[in-house]
Amino acid sequence: MKIIGVIPARYKSSRFPGKPLADICGKPMVWWVHNAAKQVKELDDVYVATDSDIVMKECEKHGIQALLTSDRHKTPNDRIYEVTTKIDADIYVVILGDEPLITPDVISAVIPDEREMERFYVTNLVSEIKNPVEAMDYTNNKIVANSDNEIIYASRAPIPYPKGSMDFTYRKILGISAMSKEALEFYHKTPRSAVERAEEIDLLRWTEHHKRVLAIDHDCKMLSVDTPKDLEQVRRILTEKMQVGTTTVMGGYNGCSLVVLSVLCLLKGGVAA
């Protein structure tokens, strides 16, 4: 079974243009995501999928395999489908390029055992929402699932609505998923529904057609970079991790140690320009 990792890195983001190359301690954000993905032993290869020649050149500079994809894709999964037309694999593990704090164990959590593998396979990593503010934040996609942990519905609104009881654990989708080639082909061939267009949540294209989408719970702390403020927080966190030696860098950093990296962050005040 061939499994590859794909890191979507959209340069022309409306909310944060150039986000994949945002500086974090002297390295572009996408490098940190790629660094984590390369440490996952189950992945046969890792690619960055981008809409920009600028990102392509930066990836080449850092020895990262990258694929140039269309700048007209409406959803991340549209970009992943294009990757399937260029690179053949059984499973495509998607690691969003705005998750620089991601760790290898989190990525491994969505990868199926070959004995569990089905031709149509979709999983999404989810975690418990512990802060009520997160439940109200529309950037967090909330889910409800059945007794087999199959996702029934996903929404940017807090679901379910606590009319009768507050005794419920709210869960949100994280930026890690795995999909078989057959699942991505179905996604590509199936038009977006009115509900999916309203919510702007990719997995609804499967659940609305009674396709199995499995939720995998993982108690991990991740921080998606959606704004410059998020970026500042990530820089501070990575600086602290490097100082105590809890961040692993594959192959070093151009020959530099983690101590040097942490000094770079400190010199920038944890928030590079």
- Tell me: pLDDT of 259 over 50: no
Domains of the chain, each with CATH number or no CATH: 3-223 (3.90.550.10)
- Tell me: pLDDT of 35 over 50: yes
Greater model confidence, 227 or 129:
129
- Model pLDDT for residues 179-207, shown as the tens digit of each residue: 999 999 999 999 999 999 999 999 999 99
Which residues, including other chains, have CB under 8 Å from residue 73's CB and lie 6 or more apart? 51, 79, 82
Q: Which position has the token pair 């600028």?
A: 54
Check: CB of residue 198 under 8 Å from CB of residue 156: no
- Model pLDDT for residues 102-141, shown as the tens digit of each residue: 999 999 999 988 766 778 999 999 999 998 898 999 989 9
Which residues, including other chains, have CB under 8 Å from residue 164's CB and lie 6 or more apart? none
Greater model confidence, 66 or 246:
66
pLDDT at residue number 247 = 62
